[in-house]
Each structure stands twice: as C-alpha cells, then as structure tokens.
Amino acid sequence: MTTDATGVLRQTQLFGSAPDDDLRAIVAGSRVRRYRRGQVVFSMGDPSDTLLVVVTGRIKVVVHSADGGELTLTILQAGDVCGELSVADGGPRSADAETLEDCQLLVVPRAVIQDLCSRVPSVAQAMTIALAGMLRRLTEATSDLVFLDLPRRVAKVLLNQPRGDDGVLRPSISQEELAHQAGGTRQSVNAALRGFERRGWIEMRDRAVTVKQAATLGRFAGT
C-alpha cells in the first residue's frame, strides 16, 4: 500500500513536485482508511486537521438543505485531494463527503502538509493554486445556478463527466446524481435529457449516456 499511496501522491497536482523522500515521509506520517460505498467520510462542521487523498474509488462532496435537498459540489477520484481549505485555515469542514464506491483514502495530518509547504516552495505554490481553483469553481457554480436554466446546467454537467472515445460517460451516472450536480429534481433532469436525445445530442440506453454532439451541447450550455 505504501508504494501505491506514494504513486498516487506523485500524480496529484498538490504533491507532484515534492521530492521522493518527502512523498515517502508523507505516507509514513499518514494512515490509510478504507470505506465502503455509501459511507460518510466527514460532515459539515466536523473538526478538521487532515487532508484526504483519494487512493482508490470515488467520493462526492455535497451540501444539504434543511429539507433534505442535496447539491453536489464536486466528485473526487484517485489522485484527487480534499480538505485544502481546512489545512489552510484550520477551520471545520465546510461540506459533507460520502463515498460513491468502495474507497481507500490517505489521511494526511495538517502538520505534515504545513511542514512540507514551509520547506518546498513548489508545494506551497501548488496549495495556493488549488485554493484559487476551488474558489473559481465555486464562483462559476454559483453563477450557473443564478443565471442558467436547468437544461443548460445539465448540459454543462454532462460535458464535465469523464467519457470514452465513443462518447459514453464512464463511470455511468444516474439521473439522481445528475440532479444533485445540476441543482434540480430527477424529474426535471429527465425532461432535459429527453430533450437532448430528441435533438440527437445524446443517446440514452439503460443507464449509459452517450454524448454524440459535444460541440453542439457546449454551445447550448454557453461553454
């Protein structure tokens, strides 16, 4: 597991520039935790003194409304990190995180990250870039929720999903998950998808969605 975790750290934007000895020291000073699909990793307001690195699997970072509504802020997979904000300011978790499949997460203490940033300027710069990127994504998401109608938000979510050369979204995403990312209901998302399918922009078969006209979908979404 140490070798795997070290390799994953090397793939991250945050730690990719760190010397090999430092990567091994990070792994040695951290621990790997395993989660099953559907488990809560942390909740909004929890104390936070760790950074999480996804070694295997996927997790979603979400916020919930008082009446149980859910908005997905981001989906993280192997090589992604979570918790930069808490590492930077020492504050509590600002959202909830839940596994979408069985996961292994490397839990890195805040003190380890701070020590590395103080000694390796490129890692400190990468942390600043990561925080700036997070702010840009949240600004864009807020703008989309205010200024774009639901079909255009659904189009943007589809285009942001990983897909193969054949246009098939991989891994597949349910309409409920799409609704959580687009900020709508499952029924309204289904209506938007059916509209895209009628225009020939996408194809839906079972749970698989194929993007057939990405450029057209992008123009519709304003990207």
What is the block-wise mean pLDDT of the chain (223 residues), using blocks of 10 residues? 74 91 91 95 92 94 88 92 88 93 95 92 93 91 92 95 92 91 94 96 91 95 87
Domains, the chain, in order of start with CATH, read 2-145 (2.60.120.10), 149-221 (1.10.10.10)
What's the confidence (pLDDT) of residue 103? 95
Which residue intervals of 41-185 are DSSP H helices?
A: 84-89, 110-119, 121-147, 150-160, 175-182
Return the pLDDT at 1: 44
Position 2 scores a pLDDT of 45
The reported pLDDT for the residue numbered 4 is 77
Instruction: Using a cut of 0.85, tell me whether the model's pTM lies above it.
Output: no
Q: Are strands 31-35 and 40-42 parallel, antiparallel or unpaired?
A: unpaired
Q: Please tell me the distance from the alpha carbon of residue 130 to that of residue 64, in angstroms, as a whole number.
A: 24
Three-state secondary structure call for residue 44: coil
- pLDDT at position 100 is 94
